[in-house]
């Protein structure tokens, strides 16, 4: 069996979204742009919150509930927001932080591989399954985001962006079983213990393969993982204060860490990481003054834990991950006030509780700082948040669980959509994760440029279009917002009143209110040139005769026009 043939991406992509047209005539402005010319040249100096981590006790209603759910989940539904608004903040947080049961692993979701038919399990099997199996892992992961109503999937994605491996970029793991193991580990520790996660990740087969841990032996040390462990995964790189000295660690520490980790390799046969003592460097490893000049003696297959313990004894390790969490949940500008009022207290909490992340995230999301109005709507949605959020917010129906191919096809349409917008789950561009969370001073603005913005608009246009966003390969699937169903889920008096209805759409889809001019514009979109009561007339005429396709189409096309306008607003890209 030639496994290589299955590594090739199928000639026809799983879902043909946004195939680029051949170049012809004038090109749109900004063609090929990767960073917008309008993105930050310096960090913005807009006011930041002075509030700290005191529990938020201010008004609690749909605005606050929606803010919390938008940041903690992907695009909350109207029902989810209403339920949250009717409960207390504590109740909502309790539910958000209740970890659901471990989901069933993915199965082969796509036809075409005789060795791995649709529905076949593969995560513990002998056969990696190639592109289609890895696509199945991605699709399944996306499906979990769609279904999740807790913070677990937002945190799982956080850890994916933190402890990066790639499934099938050059240098990636190219093993669907490793990919699944890795996902499962991130999910298991999503609200768990950062220190334990760092330990587990160090000997995770996908990571050993991706960052060359498997090639790190006593005779031929490979520093790749040791370096990223310090620079990106744990303590972070500080200011360079001397040759090879980055304040928080030195080049000698990178070498010492690499020596600690010698002897670990991945096994495709057993789908695990394993230790070979003869490949392990037995000598004492000495660390610099950044680590108090501590040493680690030979401990064989337990030695890597001592290294993680050493790193996590440094206070900077806690602050490093807390800043990253802050940029994931709040905003990317961390000024001195925020550092003092938010970052350092959270880092202290993290150290004091032994690096349990869940309580720290909860403290942040329960805080006055988080609910400060200045922190509402300032986050640019990541592509995944954008595509998953759009279909969740408008309650798009997906194929039934019973139809594996259709369901995986539908999920992969969202994977592909986000990929085109420059966020390909399982394939972060490099080990540092997506630049929107580290590239200063642009940060979130990295997501939007002259190439990606039209793709975002096309995505929402397609799901709101009456024809829907559809594909015929590998299954015939259509994702479409059912505007009439959504409006019928509103209180009848709201649905029948054009201004209440538009306000409901805006409140639900956008993070903050629109101007009076914008609301007038939306009214004119729903009822061009007509008095308000005509909406009531047309809507009631439809309700009285709901099977009349002409009447249905009449109100449906108007509703689609309004939702399209709202989703086309710059505001819709904000969370």
Query: 3-state SS string over 470-526?
Result: EECCCCCEEECCCHHHHHHCCCHHHHCCHHHHHHHHHHHHCCCCCCHHHHHHHHHHH
Largest CA distance in the chain: 84
Task: Name every residue whose Cβ is closer than 8 Å to that of residue 216 and which is 6 or more positions away in sequence.
Answer: 222, 223, 224, 225, 226, 258, 261, 262, 263, 264
Nearest alpha carbon to residue 47 among 420, 338, 341:
338
User: Is residue 525 at the binding interface for another protein, with CB under 8 A as the rule?
Assistant: yes
Q: Which C-beta is closer to another protein: that of 259 or that of 558?
A: 558
Q: Which of residues 444-483 bind another protein (CB under 8 A)?
A: 444-445, 448-450, 453-454, 457-458, 460-462, 465-467, 469-470, 472
User: Is residue 568 at the binding interface for another protein, with CB under 8 A as the rule?
Assistant: yes
The conformation of residue 215, written as its DSSP 8-state character, comes to: G
Nearest alpha carbon to residue 128 among 161, 189, 172:
172
Q: How far is the CB of 425 from another protein (least distance, A)?
A: 22
Q: Which C-beta is closer to another protein: that of 224 or that of 518?
A: 518
Q: Which C-beta is closer to another protein: that of 57 or that of 515?
A: 515
Q: Which C-beta is closer to another protein: that of 425 or that of 555?
A: 555
Q: How far is the CB of 505 from another protein (least distance, A)?
A: 14
Q: Which C-beta is closer to another protein: that of 257 or that of 364?
A: 364
Q: Which C-beta is closer to another protein: that of 72 or that of 448?
A: 448
Q: Which of residues 86-125 bind another protein (CB under 8 A)?
A: none
Question: Distance between alpha carbon 248 and the CA centroid of its chain, in Å?
Answer: 28
Q: How far is the CB of 176 from another protein (least distance, A)?
A: 28
Strands 272-275 and 285-286: unpaired
Side-chain-side CA neighbours of 151 within 13 Å: the count stands at 29
Tell me, by CB under 8 A, how many residues bind another protein: 81
* Residue 213: both structure tokens together: 């841990």
Sole window of 224-232, 346-354, 374-382, 482-490 interacting with another protein (rule: CB under 8 A): 374-382
Identify the sign of the CA torsion 35, 37, 38, 43.
positive
Q: Which of residues 21-60 bind another protein (CB under 8 A)?
A: 21-22, 24-26, 28-30, 36-40, 44, 46-48
In sequence order, the β-bridge partners of residue 296 are 285
Q: How far is the CB of 438 from another protein (least distance, A)?
A: 17
Q: Which C-beta is closer to another protein: that of 29 or that of 243?
A: 29
User: Is residue 530 at the binding interface for another protein, with CB under 8 A as the rule?
Assistant: yes
Burial (CB count within 10 angstroms: exposed 0-12, middle 13-18, buried 19+), residue 58: exposed
Nearest alpha carbon to residue 139 among 475, 433, 453, 393:
475
User: Is residue 544 at the binding interface for another protein, with CB under 8 A as the rule?
Assistant: no
User: Is residue 570 at the binding interface for another protein, with CB under 8 A as the rule?
Assistant: yes
Q: Which of residues 502-521 bind another protein (CB under 8 A)?
A: 511-512, 514-515, 517-518, 521
The conformation of residue 240, written as its DSSP 8-state character, comes to: -
Q: Which of residues 321-340 bind another protein (CB under 8 A)?
A: 331, 333
Which residue from 52, 377, 429, 513 is in contact with another protein, where contact means CB under 8 A? 377
* Helix, strand, or coil (residue 121): strand
Which residue from 375, 382, 393, 412 is in contact with another protein, where contact means CB under 8 A? 375
In sequence order, the β-bridge partners of residue 116 are none
Q: Which C-beta is closer to another protein: that of 161 or that of 375?
A: 375
User: Is residue 352 at the binding interface for another protein, with CB under 8 A as the rule?
Assistant: no
* Helix, strand, or coil (residue 266): strand
Residues 144 and 153: beta-carbon distance below 8 Å = yes
Q: Which C-beta is closer to another protein: that of 190 or that of 436?
A: 436
User: Is residue 550 at the binding interface for another protein, with CB under 8 A as the rule?
Assistant: yes
Q: Give dist(CA 73, CA 81) in Å, integer.
A: 11
String marking each residue 412-451 x if it binds another protein according to CB under 8 A: --------------------------------xx--xxx-
User: Is residue 543 at the binding interface for another protein, with CB under 8 A as the rule?
Assistant: no
């Amino acid at each position: 069996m030639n496994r290589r043939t299955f590594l090739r991406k199928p000639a026809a992509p799983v879902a043909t979204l946004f195939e680029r047209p051949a170049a012809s005539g004038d090109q749109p402005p900004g063609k090929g742009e990767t960073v917008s010319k309008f993105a930050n040249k310096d960090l913005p100096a807009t006011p930041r919150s002075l509030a700290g981590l005191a529990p938020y006790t201010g008004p609690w209603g749909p605005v606050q509930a929606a803010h919390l759910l938008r940041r903690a989940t992907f695009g909350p539904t109207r029902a989810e927001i209403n339920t949250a608004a009717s409960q207390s903040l504590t109740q909502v947080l309790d539910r958000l932080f209740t970890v659901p049961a471990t989901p069933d692993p993915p199965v082969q979701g796509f036809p075409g591989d005789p060795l791995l038919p649709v529905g076949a399990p593969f995560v513990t099997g002998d056969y990696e399954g190639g592109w289609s199996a890895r696509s199945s892992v991605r699709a399944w992961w996306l499906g979990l985001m769609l279904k999740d109503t807790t913070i677990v999937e937002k945190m799982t994605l956080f850890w994916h962006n933190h402890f990066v491996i790639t499934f099938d970029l050059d240098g990636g793991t190219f093993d669907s079983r490793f990919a699944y193991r890795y996902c499962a580990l991130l999910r298991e520790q999503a609200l768990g213990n950062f220190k334990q996660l760092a330990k587990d990740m160090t000997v995770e087969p996908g990571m050993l393969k991706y960052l060359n841990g498997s090639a790190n032996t006593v005779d031929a040390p490979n520093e790749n993982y040791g370096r990223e462990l310090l620079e990106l995964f744990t303590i972070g790189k500080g200011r360079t204060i001397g040759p090879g000295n980055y304040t928080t660690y030195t080049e000698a520490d990178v070498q010492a860490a690499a020596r600690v980790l010698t002897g670990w390799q991945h096994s495709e046969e057993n789908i695990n990481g394993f230790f070979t003592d003869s490949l392990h460097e037995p000598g004492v490893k000495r660390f610099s003054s950044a680590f108090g000049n501590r040493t680690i003696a030979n401990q064989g297959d337990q030695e890597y834990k001592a290294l993680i313990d050493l790193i996590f004894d440094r206070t900077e390790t806690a602050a490093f991950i807390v800043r990253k969490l802050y940029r994931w949940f709040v905003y990317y500008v961390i000024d001195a006030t925020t550092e003092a009022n938010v970052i350092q207290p959270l880092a202290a909490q993290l150290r004091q509780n032994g690096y349990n992340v869940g309580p720290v995230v909860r403290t942040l999301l329960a805080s006055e700082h988080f609910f400060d109005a200045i922190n509402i709507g300032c986050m640019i949605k990541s592509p995944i948040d954008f595509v998953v959020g759009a279909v969740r917010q408008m309650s798009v129906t997906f194929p039934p669980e019973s139809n594996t191919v259709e369901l995986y096809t539908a999920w992969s349409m969202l994977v592909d959509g986000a990929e085109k917008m420059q966020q390909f789950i399982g394939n972060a561009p490099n080990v540092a994760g997506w630049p929107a969370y580290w590239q200063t001073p642009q940060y979130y603005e990295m997501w939007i440029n002259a190439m990606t913005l039209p793709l975002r608009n096309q995505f929402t246009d397609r799901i709101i279009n009456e024809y829907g966003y559809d594909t015929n390969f590998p299954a015939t699937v259509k994702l479409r917002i059912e505007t009439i169903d959504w409006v019928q889920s509103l209180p009848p008096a709201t649905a029948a009143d054009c201004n209440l209805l538009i306000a409901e759409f805006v409140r639900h889809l956008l993070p903050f209110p629109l101007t009076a001019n914008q609301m007038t514009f939306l009214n004119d979109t729903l009822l061009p040139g007509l008095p308000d009561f005509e909406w009531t007339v047309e809507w009631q005429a439809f309700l009285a005769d709901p099977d009349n396709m002409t009447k249905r189409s009449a109100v449906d096309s108007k509703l689609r026009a309004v939702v399209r306008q709202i989703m086309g607003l710059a505001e819709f890209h904000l969370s």
